[in-house]
Amino acid sequence: MIRFPAVDAFRGGEGLIRVIGHRGARGLVPENSMLGFEFAMSSGVPLLEFDVVMTADNVPVITHNHRLHAPTFRDHSGHFLTTEPKIAHLTWAQLQDYDIGRIDGASVYGQRFPDQAQIDGIRVPSLRELLQVTSQDRFSSAHLMLEIKSDPAFAHDIEYRRLLVRQVVAEVHASGLETRTLLHSFDWSLLTECQHQAPEMPTSFLTQLPENEEDIGEDSIMCISPDFSVQQESIPELVVNAGGRLWCPYLNDVTRENVAKAHALGLIVAVWTVNEPSDIHRMIDLGVDAIVSDYPGRVQRCLADQGISWLVP
Q: Is 170 in the site for its own copies (CB under 8 A)?
A: no
SS3 content of the chain, % helix, strand, coil (to 5): 35, 20, 45
Tell me if residue 84 falls in helix, strand or coil: coil
**How far apart are alpha carbons 9 and 47 in whole angstroms?**
8
Based on the shown chain and the rule CB under 8 A, indicate whether residue 72 belongs to the binding site for its own copies: no
Of 129 and 219, nearer to its own copies (C-beta) is 129
Please pick, from the candidates 6, 7, 9, 28, the single residue that binds its own copies as defined by CB under 8 A.
Answer: 28
With contact defined as beta carbons under 8 Å apart, do 27 and 295 qualify? Answer: yes
Considering the complex, state which of residue 242 and residue 308 has its C-beta at the smaller distance from its own copies: 308
Among residues 58, 96, 118, 220, which is the contact residue for its own copies, using CB under 8 A?
A: 118
Binding of its own copies by 298 (CB under 8 A)? yes
Query: Using the rule CB under 8 A, is 71 a contact of its own copies?
Result: no
Of the ranges 108-116, 126-134, 231-239, 281-289, which one interacts with its own copies (CB under 8 A)? 108-116
- Residue 250 has φ and ψ, to the nearest 5°, of -65, 145
Q: Can residue 222 be called a binding residue for its own copies (CB under 8 A)? A: no
Residue nearer to its own copies on the CB measure, 35 or 163: 35
Q: What's the gap between Cα 27 and its chain centre?
A: 14
| Interface with its own copies, residue 70, by CB under 8 A | no
Question: Interacting stretch for its own copies, rule CB under 8 A, among 26-34, 60-68, 130-138, 161-169?
Answer: 26-34
Q: Which of 85, 152, 277, 287 binds its own copies (CB under 8 A)?
A: 277
290/292 Cα distance (integer angstroms): 7
Mapping DSSP to helix (H, G, I), strand (E, B) and coil, where does residue 155 land? coil
Residue 141 binds its own copies (CB under 8 A)? no
45 binds its own copies (CB under 8 A): yes
Q: Residue 70: enclosing H or E segment and its boundaries?
A: none
Binding part of the chain for its own copies, among 111-119, 141-149, 159-167, 220-228 by CB under 8 A, reads 111-119
d(C-alpha 98, C-alpha 96), whole Å: 5
Stretch of 23-31, 89-97, 151-159, 168-176 lying at the interface with its own copies (CB under 8 A) = 23-31
Nearer to its own copies, 39 or 247 (CB): 39
Minimum Å gap between C-beta 136 and its own copies is 16
Q: Rounded to the nearest 5°, which phi and psi values hold at 276? A: -80, 135
Would you call 55 helix, strand, or coil by DSSP? coil
From CA 124, how far away is CA 31, in angstroms rounded?
10
Question: Does the footprint of its own copies cover residue 300 (CB under 8 A)?
Answer: yes
The residue range among 33-41, 138-146, 207-215, 240-248 that interacts with its own copies, by the rule CB under 8 A, is 33-41
Q: Which stretch binds its own copies (CB under 8 A): 36-44, 164-172, 183-191, 240-248?
A: 36-44
Please tell me the count of residues contacting its own copies according to CB under 8 A. 32
Give the residue from 265, 242, 129 showing the smallest Cα distance to 186: 242
- Please give the Cα distance from 196 to 45 (Å, whole number): 30
Run of H or E including 281: helix 277-286
35 near its own copies (CB under 8 A): yes
Closest of 291, 273, 286 to residue 212, by C-alpha: 273
102 binds its own copies (CB under 8 A): yes
Cβ proximity of 30 and 36 under 8 Å: yes
Nearest Cα residue to 127 out of 107, 146, 101: 146
Residue ranges in contact with its own copies by CB under 8 A: 27-29, 35, 38-39, 42-45, 101-103, 105-106, 114-120, 277, 295-298, 300-301, 304-305, 311
